[in-house]
Amino acid sequence: MGKYDDIIDLPHHVSKTHPQMSVKDRAAQFSPFAALTGYGDAVEDTVKNDVLGKTDTEYMHDEEDRAYALYSQQENFD
């Protein structure tokens, strides 16, 4: 005899006092909480504005220059 054999075939309980929750409301309980609604869009807009007027290649070179400068500074401290 399995652990739940005595209750496995019982009918699903339905409350007499509380109405059944809709599937939509039930699903909302388990959806991720978005405390910072719109934050991702704001970050994306900031990034777009930051690189406005530069081609992707120019921006990549700027990033590479910064990375090289930081690397060079780190070597001086070692």
Write down the pLDDT at residue 31.
73
Q: How far apart are CA 22 and CA 17, in angstroms?
A: 16
Residues 2-30: b if buried by 16+ CB within 10 A, e if exposed: eeeeeeeeeeeeeeeeeeeeeeeeeeeee
Q: How far apart are CA 3 and CA 67, in angstroms?
A: 61
Write down the pLDDT at residue 47.
72
Write down the pLDDT at residue 3.
92
Rounded to two decimals, the pTM is 0.28
The string of pLDDT tens digits covering residues 16-72 is 999 999 998 888 887 776 667 777 787 777 777 666 655 555 555 666 677 766 766
Write down the pLDDT at residue 41.
80
Write down the pLDDT at residue 5.
92
Contact between 54 and 62 under an 8 Å Cβ cutoff? The reply is yes
Lookup: tokens for 9:
């075939």
